[in-house]
Structure 1
Amino acid sequence: MPRIAEARDAAAPSSTEQRARVVRILDAAAALATENDLERVQMNEVAKLAGVAVATLYRYFPSKTHLFVAVMLDQIDRMSAAFARRPRGARRPADAVYDTLVQVVRALLRRPLLATAMIQSNSTAKASVVPDTARVDTNFRRLLYDAAGIDTVTERDAVLVRILVHATFGAIQSCLNGRITIADAEQDLRVTCDLLLAEWPAAFSAAD
């Protein structure tokens, strides 16, 4: 595993130019990890592809683990933004959450090397060392609450969704390891959503 540097978050960009620089870094890291195992992705190559100095890259991301946790957070946020633009209609929250999870699983598995890099980095990172990992958890759960139409989250809701997220990433990891097929993963998630979310309201009505 790459060495994790100091316990701090990525430096927050404070200008349009700096934000664009960070986006280029995340896009470059994702592109390189789409074609190479995480161990073969070098920080100097990321910096070169992004058009930034290596020192600039390390200022924003102290280690490769910080970088790929941030890539995962960026990917989740992009999916959330895309899902938010889609009409939901009226359906069971369990169905809405399942449909969202299927789209997430398919999107991640389209780039298996990148998915492995992100999940490996996030799963081994301590929240006290890599603060973005907590944001990955929070934002992914928020994506599911939004899919279900839940604005006020109860303690019970939080527990159910936390278990569902564990099951989801377990299924993704099993697909990446070749232990199950995508169809198997989707079937497992269908059962998991039905069992865990059975107590949620029968349906919600969302604006088209």
Structure 2
Amino acid sequence: MARIAAARMSAEPSSPEQHDRRQRILRAASRIGTEKSLERVQMHDVAKAAGVAIGTLYRYFPSKVHLFTAVMAAQVDRLHEQAAQPAPGVEPEDAVADLLVQASRSLLAQPVLSASMLQASNSAHVATVADTIHIDSTFRDILLRTVGVEVPTAQDVTLVRLLMQCWYGVLQSSLNGRASMADVESDIRLACRLLLAPRSNAAQPSQ
């Protein structure tokens, strides 16, 4: 289990140079994390690979939990850039399923890094790891936009939250060797149909 080194929030970069240093740290952590599990990653190695002092690393990321939760947040940001509203004729639940299947394939292509990101974010507490809130809110916005919902109801938010939790569980099962990629895809598509199709059908005008 990764140790939470300090119960404090990460420092936020405020200048272009600080943003650049933070991005270098995240890229270095991603490279090292593709080969080493969260327990085996050494913060000194990340600092060296990023070309920053160890004190600088700990200023932005007080622990490996902070660091790899931030790596996951960066992945979610990239997914947000790729997401779009469904094309005409594509059911919203199918568009979401396609998005999540594509994201799953990308993550499972780097199983060691993905396991570390999930482990870190699952053990992170919102009181000290701000990126957990960023991940949840951004991921929620991605799914709602893909469904085509501009003003979500409370039920929309609940359904999306349940879908997010289901997706995390499916990914974890695959990373643990308990589900094949075919299982992952079929489970994701079924979850999207069960959770989103009723909402999609209710939005259609009555004949």
Decide: shared fold, TM above 0.5.
Answer: yes
Shift of 1:82: 2.5
| Structure 1 residues 102-122: Cα deviation after superposition (integer angstroms, max 9, x where no partner) | 111111101000000000011
Q: CA–CA distance in 1 between the matches of 2:129 and 2:172?
A: 21
Residue correspondence of structure 1 range 185-196 to structure 2 within 5 A: 185-196=184-195
User: 2: distance between equivalents of 1:103 and 1:45?
Assistant: 31
Q: Distance in 2 between matches of 1:185 and 1:162?
A: 18
- Whole-Å Cα distance in 2 between the matches of residues 177 and 103 of structure 1? 19
From the superposition, tell whether residues 8 and 152 of structure 1 become closer, same or farther in structure 2 (CA, over 3 Å): farther
CA distance in 2 between counterparts of 1:134 and 1:146 reads 18
Once residues 59 and 7 of structure 1 are traced to their aligned partners in structure 2, the CA distance between those partners, rounded to angstroms, is 12
Counterpart of 1:185, as a letter, is V
**Contact in 2 for aligned 1:105/1:172 (Cα 8 Å):** yes
Letter in 1 for 2:176: N
List aligned pairs for 1:128-139, cutoff 5 A: 128-139=127-138
Please, which runs of 5 or more residues in structure 2 have no aligned partner?
Answer: none
Across the aligned residues of Structure 1 and Structure 2, the Cα RMSD in angstroms comes to 1.7
Match of 1:80 in 2: 80
What is the SS of the residue equivalent to 2:83?
A: helix
Equivalent residue number for residue 107 of structure 1: 106
Aligned to 2:122: 123
Offset of residue 96 of structure 1 = 1.0
Match of 2:20 in 1: 20
**What count of residue pairs does the alignment treat as equivalent?**
202
Q: Which residue of 2 aligns with 1:156?
A: 155
Name the CA distance, whole Å, in 1 between partners of 2:200 and 2:166: 22
The answer on 1:143 being equivalent to 2:142 is yes
Following superposition, the deviation at residue 131 of structure 1 comes to 2.1
Offset from partner CA, 1:85-114 (integer Å, 9 cap, x none):
xx7421211011111111111111010000
How big is each residue's C-alpha offset from its partner over 1:37-89, in whole Å with a ceiling of 9 and x where there is no partner? 111110010011111100000000111100011110011101211335xx742
Contact 1:9–1:132 under 8 Å retained in 2: no
- The match for 2:166 is 167
Q: How far apart are the structure 2 equivalents of 1:78 and 1:68?
A: 15
In structure 1, distance between residues paired with 2:116 and 2:35: 11
Is 2:61 the counterpart of 1:61?
yes
Is residue 6–residue 62 contact of structure 1 (8 Å, CA) maintained in 2? yes
TM-score (norm 1): 0.92
How far is 1:151 from its partner?
1.5
Distance in 1 (CA, whole Å) between partners of 2:160 and 2:177 is: 26
* 1:49 alignment counterpart: 49
| Farther off after superposition, 75-84 or 112-121 | 75-84
More contact order relative to length (CA 8 Å, sep ≥ 6) = 1
C-alpha separation in 1, matches of 2:200 and 2:165: 22
Amino acid at match of 2:183: D
- From the superposition, tell whether residues 190 and 110 of structure 1 become closer, same or farther in structure 2 (CA, over 3 Å): same
Could you list the runs of 5+ residues in structure 1 that have no partner in the other structure?
none
1:121-174 CA-partner distances (Å, limit 9, x unpaired) = 111111122221122111111111121121111100011111111110111001
Alignment partner, residue 71 of structure 2: 71
On the 8 A contact 2:47/2:57 being kept in 1, the answer is yes
What secondary structure sits across from 1:180 in the alignment? coil
Residue 3 of structure 2 corresponds to residue 10 of structure 1: no
1:89 to 82, 87, 103: 87
Deviates more, 1:144-153 or 1:106-115: 144-153
